[in-house]
A = this chain, B = another copy of it.
């Protein structure tokens, strides 16, 4: 009872890794919007597996079929539903985890919630595969936002011990965004990217995995968006970002670093600049009191290392309540951060577009 997000649009994601299909139903999109399918498909390809050594070899076209909400490629006001068939499912790969939960996966917690009837195959509804429908609706929201002069982009800020340079917090990053959109490995600093790929390859060869951080920027967001208290942009962004599997932290602007600073080091002076008010610095990440300030929205999401590793791990037999050893077979990414980049963009686009539809005050 949690697969729905949004106050003004309702995004409902459904499906399991090995159910006949996964998909999304979005209620509340405006009517009369012509979806740019080329743009959408190229956005989806950025998340699709099989693009590099760092992704799973599961090869599925993941082309959404739109079964409602469109007439001739144009939204008609009725809920838009997209379905992606699960074609490349190999249930036998997962038979062993029926009884032995994989460490740091949702296998055990979901068993405790849903019991023996839960769908354990490939992580069931907890699979990273569910980010595909998230990207379908996020990609459409991105198109809707661009119509209003808002853009959203993300890059890999960190993998293991390697850091990319950060976005310019003033929002002067149009060139960066163009580069990222075309990149097969979305970083701002090519050298850092090469080191990251090396670190991933090393982890992969070790049968291990790596965590990472994705930084996201939203430019062109007008001031005054968001609601106070529990409906702030930070609350709403965090609520959807934590819906992406493996996210364990979200911070805005200076984030955790602000804890080590003084007010004089963290405050952002206001300046009037040719009839526009902006802040000289953007340590607040574009959000004050939950409400946008007109500066770019900046946040970072921490992804834990892929829990599926090759090493033999300690686990338990649920049926026999005894300790056992587990070696995980099957396909998995050694690092989710690269493919998470468009997912973070999608989630941010959904939350920001939803906020744009808040009733005007």
Binds B, one of A145-153, A174-182, A265-273: A265-273
A87 lies within 8 A of chain B by Cβ:
no
Binds B, one of A36-44, A46-54, A301-309: A301-309
Other-chain residue from B83, B211, B279 in contact with A83 (beta carbon distance below 8 A)? B83
Contacts of A305 in B (CB 8 A): 258, 261-263, 265-267
Closest beta carbon of chain B to A271's beta carbon, Å = 6
Given contacts A277-B321, A314-B271, contact A251 B288 (CB under 8 A): no
Closest beta carbon of chain B to A246's beta carbon, Å = 9
A-side binding surface: helix, strand, loop or mixed? mixed
Not counting A249-B250, A277-B321, a sample of 10 additional A-B residue pairs whose C-beta atoms are within 8 angstroms of each other reads A78-B124, A103-B279, A106-B290, A130-B229, A230-B240, A235-B239, A238-B239, A261-B305, A270-B314, A359-B359
A184 lies within 8 A of chain B by Cβ:
no
Does A104 lie within 8 Å of B21, measured CB to CB?
no
Given contacts A16-B68, A234-B242, A255-B302, contact A262 B27 (CB under 8 A): no
A242 CA to B309 CA, complexed, in Å: 33
Does B104 lie within 8 Å of A266, measured CB to CB?
yes
A331 lies within 8 A of chain B by Cβ:
no
